[in-house]
Amino acid sequence: MKIKLYLMLFLSVVLLQSCAGKIKTVAKPSLMQKVDYDGAVISEKKHTVTLTHYTEFKYIEDKIIFNLLVQNRGKEPLSISNENISMEFRKKDEASAPIKLEIQPLEDFMKDLENDYFNAGGRIVSRIFSNIGRTADRIEEAQMIQPEAAEGIAKTWITQFLSSVENLEGTIRVYEQFEGIVPPLVFKPQTIMPGSTVTGLIIYDIKDIDEKAEGEFNAVISVDGEEHRFTFSRSI
pLDDT of 189-207, one tens digit each? 999 999 999 999 999 999 8
Question: Hey, how many other C-beta atoms are within 10 angstroms of the C-beta on 60?
Answer: 19
What pLDDT is recorded for position 86? 96
Q: What are the angstrom distances between the C-alpha of 41 and each of 68, 80, 138?
A: 10, 19, 53
What pLDDT is recorded for position 18? 39
What pLDDT is recorded for position 115? 76
What pLDDT is recorded for position 35? 92
What pLDDT is recorded for position 114? 75
Q: What are the angstrom distances between the C-alpha of 27 and each of 31, 78, 153?
A: 12, 27, 47
What pLDDT is recorded for position 12? 37
What pLDDT is recorded for position 191? 96
d(CA 34, CA 42) in angstroms, rounded, equals 5
What pLDDT is recorded for position 223? 95
**Assessment of whether the complete model's pTM goes beyond 0.85:** no
Please state whether beta strands 48-54 and 24-27 pair in parallel, antiparallel, or not at all (unpaired).
unpaired
What pLDDT is recorded for position 205? 93
Beta bridge partners of 228: 221
Are 205 and 62 in contact by the 8 Å Cβ rule? The answer is yes
What is the per-residue pLDDT across 96-121, written as a single tens digit (0 to 9) for each?
Answer: 789 999 999 988 888 887 777 666 55
What pLDDT is recorded for position 195? 95
What pLDDT is recorded for position 6? 35
Contacts of 170 (CB under 8 A, 6+ apart): none
Low-confidence ranges of the chain (pLDDT < 70): 1-22, 59, 94, 117-178
